[in-house]
Copies of this chain bind each other. A is one copy, B any other.
Amino acid sequence: MSGTVLAPQATIGVLGGGQLGRMLALAAARLGFKCHIFAPSPDSPAFDVVHRVSCADYNDTEALDRFAADVDVVTYEFENVPAETATFLAARVPVLPDPQILATTQDRLAEKLFVRQLDIPTALFAAVAQPAELTAAIERIGLPAVLKTRRYGYDGKGQATIKNDTDLQDAWREVGGQPCILEAFVPFEREVSVVAARGQDGAVECFDVTENEHREHILKTSRVPAALSQFAVHEARRIAEAIAQKFAYVGVLAVEMFVLPGGGEILVNEIAPRVHNSGHWTLDGASVSQFEQHIRAVAGWPLAKPIRRGRVEMINLLGSEVEDLQRWLTVPGAAVHVYGKAAIRPGRKMGHVTRVFADE
């Protein structure tokens, strides 16, 4: 894959049509590229910002063939694109990041094993393929613990917390009776993430460590810089860089981490092989955005060195909060982003606001 260098005017194919695909397409447009969005839903917000779209299922091989013939490189905006789709396309056109990485990060067990192999700490975990294995796993991990489906989990979906009084059959039903991992509950002090880009030349550029606050498992606020010691900042960046290098990653990834009480020890929680909500602040708060870094990487262009513009806060507009956007429009230094989604649903990511405090 290395060596793909796109000329401006080239077409970047994006699998997935949500707000991440939309913001990738906007970043690609700034650099002179065209985008072609492939997504199953006719309501995909990314469709509105590109001229060419394929509205088809991810297993529609005829549509995928036409898509592959039209684009110069393929990337994706979310990690639950079927790995088979990415593999099918990779036989026809460069796909970045490599579909193998998609396969690893789609499976919590494979992902955890990958991280451990780099000597990077994670929560204790055990595979639970069937209900009968749950008791033994609890004995190893202890309680409380979190049962998570190995695949297709996001924003807290496919998770059940297990305490001493939890009925194990209920928990198993709650996650849908699929292959799982059991993870020790981590009494973290803070949640942070590092959004890192790796270019085709192997150079890595990390954005500053971001501190994240979730509400009902959905990201609500990101703040940067995170309130961490210099040591912890260094460690968080080292971890993200090691993961990007080990994957020989091309593009942007996000590593979500827990900081343990005391502030020194960091565990990896999850890897997202894509641009990430906790990097949205970079659109206004840095000299280059995560979206542009991703486009530069998949285009074979050099990465930029991000310069942060001050203290930054990013607030997600969830569900009907988007109706408040008028009040944000006049807040000095606030930038409002609306994703153009037709239907408002509780907890749905409808937009975000960035506040840049330049003097801090």
Chain A residues near B (Cβ < 8 Å): 8-9, 22, 25-26, 29-34, 47-51, 53, 284, 287-288, 296, 301-302, 304-305, 307, 309, 322, 325-326, 329-330, 332-340, 342, 351, 356, 358
Q: List 9 A-B contacts (CB under 8 A).
A: A8-B322, A9-B342, A22-B29, A26-B26, A29-B48, A31-B336, A49-B51, A51-B53, A309-B309
Bound CA span A31–B325, Å:
10
Knowing A307-B358, A356-B287, say if A338 contacts B32 (CB, 8 Å).
Answer: yes
A8 is contacted by which of B34, B49, B340 (Cβ under 8 Å)? Answer: B340
The residue in chain B whose Cβ has the minimal distance to the Cβ of A336 is: B31
Copies of this chain per assembly: 2
A340 is contacted by which of B32, B332, B333, B337 (Cβ under 8 Å)? Answer: B32
Knowing A29-B49, A49-B50, A358-B307, say if A335 contacts B8 (CB, 8 Å).
Answer: no
Shortest distance from the beta carbon of A36 to any chain B beta carbon, whole Å: 10
Residues of B within 8 A of A288 (CB): 335
Bound CA span A26–B336, Å:
14
Bound CA span A149–B333, Å:
43
Bound CA span A322–B31, Å:
11
Shortest distance from the beta carbon of A355 to any chain B beta carbon, whole Å: 10
Bound CA span A253–B334, Å:
23
Residues of B within 8 A of A336 (CB): 30-31
Residues of B within 8 A of A32 (CB): 338-340, 351
Bound CA span A224–B37, Å:
38
Residues of B within 8 A of A25 (CB): 49
- Among A284, A287, A296, A322, max chain B CB count under 10 A is at A287
Shortest distance from the beta carbon of A13 to any chain B beta carbon, whole Å: 14
Bound CA span A69–B335, Å:
31
Contact check, B333 vs A307: say whether CB atoms are below 8 A apart: yes
Residues of B within 8 A of A304 (CB): 329-330, 332, 334
Bound CA span A58–B322, Å:
37
Shortest distance from the beta carbon of A72 to any chain B beta carbon, whole Å: 14
Contact check, B48 vs A340: say whether CB atoms are below 8 A apart: no
Residues of B within 8 A of A29 (CB): 22, 26, 48-49, 340
Bound CA span A51–B27, Å:
16
The residue in chain B whose Cβ has the minimal distance to the Cβ of A308 is: B358
6 nearest CB pairs, A to B: A32-B338, A32-B340, A8-B338, A29-B49, A34-B48, A302-B330
